[in-house]
């Protein structure tokens, strides 16, 4: 049996692409949206047709066991999974900058050896988990003065090393992808339940380096809340923090690496907090006629101390486009989960809050423990999980579907939403000459504000897709940050968000990060162009 | 009317000392504990009797409006409030190192001017909030090579500047003490509810710099959970983070200053999260016959998702000594609070968990909304609040009563408790020639472990109290950290915990902190001896 191979240009495994029916259904949506009938796709690229630059560096004998310069591996590690990454590949725009070598370390010693080699030769080292970055976090840098780039793929560091059932925590290697992590935990009855959209193709180390956010909409949102301690390999040596629930002893060292995006070190393992597998679940979908009131209900719930697992408010335009409903209402997907107690009183109170703001729901859904997998919520969920598989087909047809997401205080949210929608729609119109669509949902909510997630759709010109994408993305991001939102709640920075991050981050903190990088990575080997410049 | 003056050697205001009756009652407890009848106290010191070294520095004309070298002010800022600080003052052991100048800045410009002056003259600047440090965090450094020390008391930065009722947050100046902060918030219906034992005499900036922990035993424990954004004045300039609920954009800059103990900058203001004033409250005290089972019940509660406001497990020895009960049971003070909903189902489930581990309680207390202020819990609470006022009287009698506190995962807790008690009792016996007492309670609990808080009592030799204290403190701290606990959950590091912190902190993180200090405080003005050495 041949091992399954990942698609080098799209999402997932080569043998698990979107079905013809799924593509057809998407095409119908785009046809309605853009008033266009014919979507002749460009054919998907094959490795054979691509004339890849030969590797510019020679792998030292001592590293041959863990390094390769094989074409497919270099191709696979050329890009992340942003719209413009996919457009570059699918529209054959640019295969000029693959990594020269892909390293597959099996130990921290391997990583240190690769980092040493890179330092000696002036090569860049790009840490790589699942490769799902949508912000240019794993793309080899394009600065001309380096003799070569090495991608450090942590896929072999994929084991759950230790479980502490009493404290509900596990020590897990950083290269472990979502499904593998859950499979190894299953016999213990514990789960991380960190179900982000890229779960199948993202790793624990990637979640940590990018401050990813997972399944829970409240209380345990970002990976920051899960990390008990870290091991990080840096060119200056290994840094390991002690395993305690929390401490008041000085600044938390783990927090320097949460969000460090591979620029300060390579996370190799972490103790993370787990949950018991939920045994109780109650879910429903609440309909609102007034979006402002729906937002208010969500705010009150977020400040209630009820801590729902899901409190995803989807505005009617998104409901309609995803066919989760007819678009007459904004929908709030509301659920509670517990491994400890029945959740009747929790849901009752949350629904009371919804009712105060005009929310309506079907009582019978409450009795169905699987109601999150059926009805409107179920239809929305299916679209969510299959979304990444369809993006490559959209791009092959000139359709851009991208997201910008943020976090903002409640007092600024309605204004931010209005400005992002207005600016993005205007940019789509100006850039593509056609109307587009911008919709928003909440992915996570905090007592002090929501994390709004905007999806925009535009039909571009296949020959100018990357340039068009950037004009629209920039307009959306400018509006979002000007309205007081952060440039990202959980998609991270990579290279794509640097210009907004550089404005958002206090300048003196950049000075501190540069100083930290000089200490930990004195030869500036790690992920150049990300986080901070030397 | 003369303004109230703080006691320079003890707790609180000069006119609010412990009453003769309170002292008598404490003496009875010590008499029982140590088998000693006569506790002749040394008389409390007066400013007049102390021959303070003259200030070694001349205040520049431009700073005279905000700086003083008056004797009482320098005396008041000579020490924090640790046992050995008090012993030094009350037993007239050491008044040799007062600050030379006390600055009372009224603006960030004043702070920058003082820091500039200190840099130019080679003086140390010691940020000072309420002065309640029990770890030597505000004591002027004793390194001989500096020409002088300036304490920077932020008491005039004491205003709530802005309130966002929708996001439930406020922008507050860092020098605001607990009661003043709550008084200013009261008209808004919002509260910070950050009720630590030193609440009356500690400031928001102090809480942030020391990672203090407050009222809530779960969910909102440390000040880290409250900070939305910070303003920090450093010798290199002002650093201000943006106000968002959270962000995924790079490492969180606020986390560098949470726990920075005045060594990296002076926090001047923060946006902090608030709660609505609770309208619902349910509380009771659960009795356990088996301490191991009580710990288990607390662990299950901490992992249940119920988020009690209080889950303070007090072992029977502490129950007995504080006269909260007869000592036949370990007591769990359990309460829930909400501004949103009645808490019956929450308390019911928590009590079910307690019952599974043999817990018993009086049903009638559940109906009393003020039951936390009455009965065993009420007696314990009264002792807690008055404790700091009695410490000076203990020390005047040669009685040491100190605490070491930690945080540790559940799998290590029982072992840590055994080792800390054994080592501390042995040290007390060896050092003082008498038996002492060591008791423990939980102040805060996390799903992955508790924050145990040990109190020890020993009757020492008035002439050797400081040396005896250090021998006992070191034995307790060594045992605690050897058993896998952090050196502090919320008392911070100051100068006293440096030796344990230096072992606990990853060495490469020390390198990063030194680099950060070089950037932010290049002339090493800020709080020398704290956090990290240049």
Tens-digit pLDDT profile for residues B478-493: 999 999 999 999 999 9
Going by pLDDT thresholds of 50, 70 and 90, the confidence category of residue A476 is very high
**Two tokens, residue B317:** 């020895």
Count how many residues are written for chain A: 534
Run of H or E residues at A237? strand A237-240
Which pLDDT score, from 0 to 100, does residue A236 have?
98
Question: Token pair of A470, please?
Answer: 């950037």
Q: Which residues of chain A neighbour B411 with C-beta distances below 8 Å?
A: 164, 166-167
Q: Percent helix, strand, coil in chain A (nearest 5)?
A: 40, 20, 40
What value of ipTM does the predicted structure carry? 0.96
Of A83, A121, A114, A79, the residue nearest A99 (C-alpha): A79
Q: What integer pLDDT is reported at residue A387 of this predicted model?
A: 86
Q: Given this structure, which CATH class describes domain B280-482?
A: alpha beta
Question: Quick check: A325 and A331 in contact, CB under 8 A?
Answer: yes
Helix (H, G, I), strand (E, B) or coil at A285: strand
pLDDT of B1 above 80: no
Does the beta-carbon distance from B506 to A240 stay under 8 Å? yes
φ, ψ (nearest 5 deg) of residue B150: -120, 125
The Cα B63–Cα B111 span in angstroms is 10
Which are the contacts of A266, defined by CB distance < 8 A and separation ≥ 6? Answer: A111, A115, A127, A152, A154, A174, A205, A232, A233, A234, A526
Whether A251 sits inside 8 A of B243 (CB atoms) is no
Nearest to A237 among B446, B449, B508 (CB): B508
pLDDT in tens, B441-468: 999 999 999 999 999 999 999 999 999 9
Q: Across the interface, which of B246, B257, B305 has its CB nearest the CB of A489?
A: B246
Any chain B CB within 8 A of the CB of A415? Answer: no
The DSSP bridge partners found for residue A288 are A330
Asked if B247 and A486 come within 8 Å (Cβ–Cβ), the reply is yes
Among the listed residues B195, B352, B354, B202, the one whose alpha carbon sits nearest the alpha carbon of residue B278: B195
| Domain span(s) for CATH 3.40.462.40 in chain A | 280-482
Q: Which of B279, B164, B174, B339 is nearest to A448 (CA)?
A: B164
- For A42, phi then psi, to 5°, come to -75, 150
| B386 reaches A (C-beta below 8 A) | no
Question: How many other C-beta atoms are found inside a 10 Å radius of the C-beta of residue B363?
Answer: 8
What are the CA-CA distances from residue B361 to residues B311, B334, B441 (Å)? 14, 11, 19
> CB pairs below 8 Å between A and B: how many?
298
What per-residue confidence (pLDDT) applies to A373?
65
Determine contact: A533 vs chain B, CB below 8 A: no
User: What residues in B contact A266, CB-CB < 8 Å?
Assistant: none
- Distance, in Å, from the CA atom of A224 to the CA atom of A258, rounded to the nearest integer, reads 7
Probe site for chain B from A217, A228, A512 (most B CB atoms < 10 A): A512
CA atoms of B407 and A244, how far apart (whole Å):
6
- A70 phi and psi, to 5 degrees? -65, 145
**Percent of chain A's residues with pLDDT above 90:** 90
pLDDT tier for residue B371 given thresholds of 50, 70 and 90: low
According to the model, what pLDDT value does residue B466 have?
A: 96
Check pLDDT > 80 for residue B377: no
Q: Do B340 and A305 touch (CB under 8 A)?
A: yes
Q: Facing residues of B125 across strands?
A: B150, B526
Q: Which of A273, A497, A519 sits opposite B511 (nearest CB)?
A: A519
Rounded-to-integer distance, Cα B135 and Cα B464, Å: 19
CB contact under 8 A, B340 and A304: yes
Least Cα distance to A530 among A494, A487, A482 occurs for A494
Tokens of B139: 């004591």
Q: Touching check for B509 and chain A: CB below 8 Å?
A: yes
Q: What is the mean pLDDT of chain A?
A: 95
What dihedral angle (degrees, nearest 10) is formed by the CA atoms of B198, B202, B204, B208? -70
Q: Region B164-172: what's the mean pLDDT?
A: 98
The answer to whether B449 contacts A244, with C-beta atoms less than 8 Å apart, is yes
- Cβ-based neighbour number of residue A260 at 10 Å: 29
Residue to test with chain B: of A202, A237, A244, most B Cβ within 10 A: A244
Q: Which CATH fold topology does A160-276 show? A: 3.30.465
Return the residue of A nearest to B226 by Cα.
Answer: A448
Per the document, the length of chain B is 534
CA A353 vs. chain centroid, Å, equals 31
Range in A284-298, B93-107, B367-381 with the lowest mean pLDDT: B367-381
- The mean pLDDT value of chain B amounts to 95
Beta strands in B340-468 (DSSP E): 399-405, 437-446, 449-459
Query: In this structure, are residues A431 and A458 in contact, taking their beta carbons and an 8 Å threshold?
Result: yes
- B131 in Cβ contact with B204 (< 8 Å): no
Looking at the predicted structure, is the pLDDT value of residue B64 above 90?
Answer: yes
Q: If you average pLDDT over residues A303-313, what whole number do you get?
A: 97
* Whole-number Å distance between alpha carbons of B416 and B419: 5
Least CB–CB distance from B490: residue in A222, A248, A349: A248
Average pLDDT over residues A47-60: 95
**Residue labelled with tokens 């006992």:** B472
Task: Please tell me what DSSP assigns to residue A359.
Answer: -
Residues pairing with A173 in the sheet: A269
Assess contact for A272 and A227: CB atoms under 8 A: yes
pLDDT at residue number A470 = 98
Do A248 and B485 make contact, defined as CB atoms within 8 angstroms? no
CA neighbours closer than 13 Å in the CB half-sphere of residue A389: 20
| Pairing mode, strands B169-173 and B160-164 | antiparallel
Q: Of all residues in chain B, what percent are helix, strand and coil, respectively (each to 5)?
A: 40, 20, 40
Number of H helices, E strands in chain B: 16, 17
Cα–Cα dist A367/A389, whole Å: 33
A68 touching B, CB under 8 A?
A: no
Residue pair A503/A477 in contact by the 8 Å Cβ criterion: no
Average confidence (pLDDT) over A223-247: 98
- Cα B228 versus chain centre, distance: 21
Alpha carbon distance B524, B146 (integer Å): 11
User: For residues B393-420, b (16+ Cβ closer than 10 Å) or e, as one string?
Assistant: bbbbbbbbbbbbbbbbbbbbbeebbebb
A138 and chain B in contact, CB less than 8 A: no
Neighbour count for residue B522 (Cβ, 10 Å)? 13
- Answer whether residue A21 shows pLDDT above 60: yes
Taking CA–CA distances from A530, the nearest residue in chain B reads: B250
Alpha carbon of residue B175 to chain centroid: 16
Interface of B with A in 217-236 (CB under 8 A): 219, 221-222, 224, 228, 234, 236
Can you name the residues that pair with B286 across neighbouring β-strands? B332
The pLDDT assigned to B359 comes to: 98
**Residue B292 class from Cβ within 10 Å (0-12 exposed, 13-18 middle, 19+ buried)?**
exposed
Whether residue A374 is predicted with pLDDT greater than 70 in this model: the reply is no
A111: confidence class by pLDDT, cuts 50, 70, 90: very high
CA proximity to A453, closest of A464, A441, A445: A441
What's the CA gap between A117 and B159, in Å, rounded?
Answer: 55
- 3-state DSSP call for residue B223? helix
Tens digit of pLDDT for each residue in B72-111?
999 999 999 999 999 999 999 888 899 999 999 999 999 9
Which two tokens mark A526? 């790690």
**CB contact (8 A) between residue B519 and residue A508:** yes
pLDDT higher than 90, residue A23: yes
Residues B386-404 have pLDDT tens digits of 889 999 999 999 999 999 9
In chain A, CATH 3.30.465.10 covers 160-276
| Residues B506, B487: Cα–Cα separation, whole Å | 14
- Cβ proximity of A313 and A340 under 8 Å: no
Q: DSSP state, A2?
A: P
- Judging contacts by C-beta atoms under 8 Å, the chain A residues touching residue B345 are 341, 344-345
CA distances A302 to A306, A308, A347, A450, B167, Å, are 8, 8, 13, 9, 10
User: Per-residue b/e over A124-134, b at no fewer than 16 CB within 10 Å?
Assistant: bbbbbbbbbbb
3-state secondary structure of A116: helix
Nearest beta carbon to residue A409 from set B238, B244, B447: B244
* CB-CB neighbors (< 8 A) of B306 in chain A: 340-341
């Amino acid at each position: 049996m041949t091992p399954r191979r990942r698609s080098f240009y799209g999402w997932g495994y080569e043998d698990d692409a979107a079905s013809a029916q799924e593509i057809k259904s998407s095409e119908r949506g785009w046809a309605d949206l853009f008033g266009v009938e014919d979507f002749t796709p460009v054919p998907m690229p094959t490795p054979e047709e691509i004339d890849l630059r030969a590797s510019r560096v020679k792998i030292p004998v001592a590293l041959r066991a863990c390094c390769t310069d094989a074409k497919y591996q270099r191709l696979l590690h050329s890009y992340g999974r942003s719209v413009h990454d996919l457009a570059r590949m699918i529209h054959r725009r640019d295969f000029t900058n693959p990594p020269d070598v892909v390293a597959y370390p099996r130990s921290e010693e391997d990583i240190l050896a690769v980092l040493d080699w890179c330092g000696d030769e002036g090569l860049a080292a790009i840490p790589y988990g699942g490769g799902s970055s949508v912000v240019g976090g794993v793309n080899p840098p394009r600065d001309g003065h380096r003799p070569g780039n090495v991608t450090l793929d942590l896929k072999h560091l994929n084991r759950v090393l230790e479980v502490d059932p009493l404290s509900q925590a596990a020590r897990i290697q950083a290269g472990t992808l979502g499904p593998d992590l859950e499979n190894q935990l299953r016999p213990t009855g514990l789960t991380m339940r960190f179900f982000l959209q890229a779960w199948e193709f993202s790793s624990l180390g990637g979640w940590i380096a990018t401050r990813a956010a997972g399944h829970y909409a409240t209380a345990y949102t970002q990976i920051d809340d899960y990390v008990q301690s870290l091991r990080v390999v840096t060119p200056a040596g290994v840094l390991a923090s002690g395993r305690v629930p929390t401490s008041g002893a000085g600044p938390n060292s783990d927090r320097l690496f949460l969000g460090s995006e591979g620029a300060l070190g390579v996370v190799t393992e972490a103790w993370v907090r787990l949950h018991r597998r939920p045994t109780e679940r109650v879910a429903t979908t609440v309909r609102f006629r007034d979006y402002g009131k729906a937002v208010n209900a969500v705010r009150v719930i977020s400040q209630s101390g009820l801590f729902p697992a899901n409190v995803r408010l989807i505005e009617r335009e998104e409901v309609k486009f995803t066919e989760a409903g007819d678009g007459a209402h904004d929908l709030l997907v509301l659920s509670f989960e517990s491994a400890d107690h029945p959740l009747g009183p929790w849901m009752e109170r949350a629904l009371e809050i919804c009712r105060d703001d005009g929310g309506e729901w079907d009582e019978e859904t409450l009795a169905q423990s699987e109601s999150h997998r059926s009805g409107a919520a179920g239809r929305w969920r299916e679209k969510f999980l299959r979304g990444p598989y369809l993006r490559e087909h959209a791009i092959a047809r000139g359709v851009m579907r991208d997201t910008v997401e943020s976090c903002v205080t409640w007092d600024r949210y309605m204004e931010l939403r209005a400005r992002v929608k207005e600016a993005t729609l205007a940019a789509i119109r100006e850039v593509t000459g056609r109307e587009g669509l911008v919709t928003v949902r909440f992915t996570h909510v905090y007592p002090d504000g929501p994390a709004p997630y905007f999806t925009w759709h535009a039909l571009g010109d296949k020959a100018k897709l990357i340039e068009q994408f950037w004009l629209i993305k920039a307009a959306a991001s400018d509006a979002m940050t000007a309205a007081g939102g952060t440039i990202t709640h959980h998609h991270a920075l990579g290279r794509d968000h640097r210009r907004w991050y550089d404005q958002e981050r206090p300048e003196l903190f950049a000075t501190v990060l540069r100083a930290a990088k000089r200490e930990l990575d004195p030869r500036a080997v790690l992920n150049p162009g990300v986080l901070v410049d030397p």
